[in-house]
């Protein structure tokens, strides 16, 4: 089985630093089972693939992310061999070894990811609309072919992940929940195979999280993992805006969750 990561890159210096952190941690090199490609847009009319980066000809703005996704998707379908594809971004950490096992649950006609709820009315998407978050979209090669037929300009005024979800829903796809640890939301590191390390309030924290989490997954002994996990949590306490009491409550709930598992 061959897995391809297609990671949305670009957008400014902060995002570039996040990409560097990925290249120095979990995405340092391709393997026999997984290949990583960062997807960027440029003003040239040509497709350029170098240093594991694919440049596609489209708008460099945030509004161009959906078009960049579809252009990149169709290029890899024509030029890269893979069985499964994960579309993500530069502020997400993946444990590739465990991801490969989880992909077995994604079948043809399905799209995997983490469900979120739209918090406000956006274009044609009402408040409360449930969709798959774009930080991790899991699909087979055939599913990627279906997504590749999406016409980006049809959804120009809508966020890319909501647009993708609606398009796949209209094409009869079912959706498989995939576990994700959103560290910036809960500040408790639970070692799922996908960890969202993005920090909205402190962008520089994203890189630190990426590095510390990588130390955990690279640890070879139980004690080393406990130590690495502690480093992540100490960093969260130091940099988060939640009170110690609130953090303690989150920690107790996390421990209870682990006990149930």
Angle at 167 between CA 58 and CA 114, to 5 degrees: 95
Residues of the chain with CATH 3.90.550.50: 3-177
CA 47, CA 142: separation in Å to the nearest integer? 23
Predicted TM-score (pTM) of this structure: 0.90
Rg, the chain, Cα only: 18
- pLDDT at residue 13 above 50? yes
pLDDT band at 246 (very low <50, low <70, confident <90, very high): low
Sign of CA dihedral 120, 71, 96, 92: negative
Q: Which CATH class is domain 3-177?
A: alpha beta
- pLDDT at residue 260 above 60? no
Give the residues across from 115 on adjacent strands: 132
- pLDDT at residue 261 above 50? no
Determine whether 121 is exposed, middle or buried from the number of CB atoms within 10 Å of its CB (0-12, 13-18, 19+): exposed
Q: What is the pLDDT of residues 101-155, one digit of tens each?
A: 889 889 999 999 999 998 777 677 888 889 999 999 999 999 999 999 999 988 8
| DSSP 8-state class, residue 235 | H
* Of 187, 12, 196, 13, residue with least CA distance to 88: 196
């Amino acid at each position: 089985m061959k897995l391809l990561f297609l990671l949305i890159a670009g957008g400014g210096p902060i995002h570039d630093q996040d990409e560097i952190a990925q290249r120095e941690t979990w995405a340092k090199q391709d393997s026999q089972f997984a290949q990583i490609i960062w997807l960027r847009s440029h003003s040239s009319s040509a497709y350029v693939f170098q240093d594991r980066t694919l440049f596609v000809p489209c708008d460099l703005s945030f509004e161009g992310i959906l078009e960049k996704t579809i252009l990149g998707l169709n290029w890899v379908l024509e030029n890269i061999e893979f069985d499964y594809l994960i579309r993500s971004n530069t502020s997400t950490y993946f444990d590739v070894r465990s991801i490969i096992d989880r992909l077995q649950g994604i079948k043809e006609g399905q799209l995997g990811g983490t469900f979120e709820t739209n918090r406000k009315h956006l274009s044609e998407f009402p408040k409360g609309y449930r969709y798959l978050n774009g930080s991790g979209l899991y699909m087979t090669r055939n599913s990627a072919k279906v997504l590749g037929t999406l016409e980006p300009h049809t959804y120009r005024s809508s966020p890319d992940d909501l647009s993708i979800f609606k398009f796949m829903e209209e094409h009869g796809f079912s959706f498989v929940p995939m576990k994700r640890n959103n560290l910036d939301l809960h500040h408790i590191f639970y070692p799922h195979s996908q960890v969202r390390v993005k920090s909205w309030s402190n962008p520089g924290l994203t890189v630190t999280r990426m590095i510390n989490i990588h130390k955990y997954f690279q640890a070879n002994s139980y004690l080393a993992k406990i130590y690495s996990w502690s480093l992540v949590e100490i960093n969260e306490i130091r940099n988060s805006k939640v009170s110690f009491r609130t953090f303690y409550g989150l920690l107790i709930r996390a421990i209870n969750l682990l006990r149930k598992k």
